[in-house]
Amino acid sequence: MGPLEERATWLAYAGLLPFLGTALYIWFSPLIFPANYAYALLRWELLYGAIILSFMGGIRWGLAMLNNKTISDYVTLNQLTNSVIPPLIGWLAVIPANLIPGIAPTYVVRHLILLVAFVLLMQADRNASRDGFAPAWYGPLRLKITMFLSLIFILSMMRMLNLGW
């Protein structure tokens, strides 16, 4: 493992800490932590998730900008387009409930939106890695990180449903 891959791996796992911390807080609420704080923490977690989705979209933009002219313009335009979609999905997950009349998604639904976006983006990133548009180590790293994030989100959503949130 080279220094870039090693640093990226450590930083990627560190990026999971806010999600893990929120999940633990929720699971120990209201036994140890006040439920109203856990509920407020979920909002911050959703905002963090939307930021991370934007960051992941930015990676795709950066990869497209590094086009070495051996990649077709179609693929480059496709990468640029796909780099804008993750932030838009993140925005949907945090949009105020009263902004769209008749639609008030729960925290579970909002987490599900983020989870689906992370899984779809992971698959696109793995394909980019496989096809040589991203470093070879990037796809496997994204798979591991997304698996951990998915587990964290699923456990959090189960607890939210249990608490009636």
pLDDT digits (tens, 9 = 90+) for 22-39: 999 999 988 888 888 888
So what's the pLDDT on residue 69? Answer: 57
| Rounded CA Rg of the chain | 17
pLDDT digits (tens, 9 = 90+) for 102-142: 777 899 999 999 999 999 999 999 998 998 889 999 999 99
Domain range annotation of the chain: 3-163
- Going by pLDDT thresholds of 50, 70 and 90, the confidence category of residue 67 is low
Name the amino acid, one letter, at 146: T
Any alpha helices (H) in the chain, and if so which ranges? Answer: 3-14, 17-27, 35-65, 73-94, 107-130, 138-163
Burial class of 32 by CB neighbour count within 10 A (0 to 12, 13 to 18, 19+)? exposed
Cα–Cα dist 27/22, whole Å: 9
Mean pLDDT of 130-155: 96
pTM, two decimal places: 0.91
Average pLDDT, the chain: 90
Residue 151 near residue 111 (C-beta atoms within 8 A): no
Residue 19 near residue 45 (C-beta atoms within 8 A): yes
Which residue did the predictor score with more confidence, 73 or 158? 158
